[in-house]
Amino acid sequence: MRRMLLWMAGNRWLRDRLPKLWFARRAVRRFMPGEDAESALRAGAQFQIEGIGSLYTRLGENLVRIEDADEVAAHYLGVMDEIRERRLDGEISVKLTQLGFDLDVERTFAHASALATKAAENGRSLWVDMEGSAYTEATIAFYERLKASHPNVGLCLQAYLRRTAADVRRLLPLQPGIRLVKGAYAEPTEITYQARAEVNANFLALSVAMLEAVRAGGQVRIALGTHDVGLIGQVAEHAAAMGLRKTAFEIQMLYGVRSDQQSRLNREGFIVRDLIAYGEAWYPWYMRRLAERPANVLFALRQMIG
Ligand SMILES: Cc1cc2nc3c(=O)[nH]c(=O)nc-3n(C[C@H](O)[C@H](O)[C@H](O)COP(=O)(O)OP(=O)(O)OC[C@H]3O[C@@H](n4cnc5c(N)ncnc54)[C@H](O)[C@@H]3O)c2cc1C
């Protein structure tokens, strides 16, 4: 089921047709407050009342026209203005291929620099998502270059990749922001841990390595991008055993997923940030969310019928 949904995520024919169907639009509402930035910002303001921060991402990846990347960058600059004006504890998370990475790396770099500069003016960070493994090395190298001139940037790394332990070691000296996730793409078996238990064990080991760096006095902004509350609990136990505060790391979850747990963790004193996605280009992203939990397919079907 997971493989089929991930195949569907990458299928252009379906991507062009499925999103036009009203029932698909209705089902996606569970993971998205709306298609425009205004809906996302309003949802972020609601989270803020509870003390939960927000992250915003406009859906869209693998652009094929570089002019579209210019528009995306301009859009995010506008969203950052809104975040400041509304006094939201909000940050932006971008995919490099949404800023033109497939087409023109230098232009992508100029856009990412402009976004990071604006984020810094507002006292915020800019997050860079991690895409499929064809982009891993190039994205990390891009991050290293961006980080050299913009201290306020964070990068997503995926625990299902065997290479990630080395990548964490490589990045730690840079005082990075690292959002650790399990990983959402269909990848070759040679480069990934396939068993869930192995991915979880690697996630924990990588989290502990980052906490050790913090305990040793290093500057690392650690974000756990997971809904696996058991795993978060284990990381929290390790942090406590090292004498670190609950705020030594933050927890980032997706809008609409385990909302009850987001509130609980926030009440217990952890830093929680909700990633709110919006935009018309939701199809591949939504299919990856379904793949993460096949029970969501039943939920989607019920939404379509009911
Ligand atoms: C803030 C954030 C940013 C991310 N950025 C990236 C990125 O840049 N690159 C990337 O490859 N991946 C990214 N991901 C996705 C990530 O890789 C996983 O695919 C996703 O988080 C599901 O795995 P999990 O860690 O929640 O653990 P799982 O073991 O998959 O899930 C743990 C439990 O959480 C619940 N759950 C998980 N997912 C869902 C869902 N979709 N619907 C309902 N319940 C669910 C279930 O109860 C499940 O039992 C991001 C995830 C988050 C939260």
Angle between helical axes of 37-50 and 66-85 (0-180°, round to 10): 40
| Nearest CA among 194, 187, 180 for reference residue 226 | 180
Active-site entry in 58, 124, 179, 288: 179
Q: Which of 228, 250, 262 to mutate to test the pocket of ligand 1 (most atoms within 8 A of CB)?
A: 228
How are beta strands 126-128 and 153-158 bridged, if at all?
parallel
Rounded to the nearest angstrom, the distance between the alpha carbon of 258 and the centre of ligand 1 is 10
Q: Please, where are the H alpha helices in 18-65?
A: 22-28, 37-50
pLDDT digits over 268-283, tens only? 999 999 999 998 878 8
Task: List, as one string, the DSSP characters of 236-304.
Answer: HHHHHHTT--GGGEEEEEETTSSHHHHHHHHHTT-EEEEEEEESS--HHHHHHHHHH-THHHHHHHHHH
pLDDT, position 23: 66
> What's the whole-model pTM score?
0.93
How many CB atoms are located within 10 Å of the residue 288 CB? 18
Which residue in 126, 86, 65, 62 sits closest to 281, CA to CA? 62
The ligand 1 atom nearest the CA atom of 252: 1
Break the chain into its structural domains and give their ranges: 33-281
- Residue 304 has a pLDDT of 60
Task: Supply the pLDDT for residue 303.
Answer: 61
Q: How far, in Å, from the CA of 40 to the mean position of ligand 1?
A: 19
Q: For residue 7, what pLDDT is reported?
A: 85
The per-residue pLDDT for 306 is 54
Note if 129 is an active site residue. yes
Check 58, 102, 129, 288 and give the catalytic one.
Answer: 129
How open is the CA angle 62-67-68, to the nearest 5 degrees? 45
With a Cβ cut-off of 6 Å, ligand 1 is lined by: 129-130, 156, 158, 181-185, 225-228, 252-254, 257-258, 275, 289, 292-293, 296
Find out if CATH 3.20.20.220 is the number for domain 33-281: yes
Ligand 1: residue whose CA is nearest its atom 38: 292
Q: Say what the alpha-carbon torsion angle 24, 27, 33, 36 is, to the nearest 10 degrees.
A: 0
CA–CA dist 27, 306 (Å, integer)? 10
Angle formed at CA 93 by CA 87 and CA 94, multiple of 5 degrees: 135
What does the pLDDT look like over 74-116, one tens digit per residue?
A: 999 999 999 999 999 999 999 999 999 999 999 999 999 999 9
Residues in the chain where the model's pLDDT stays below 70: 20-23, 299, 301-306
Q: How far apart (Å, rounded) are the C-alpha atoms in residues 164 and 158?
A: 7
Residue 221 among the catalytic residues: no
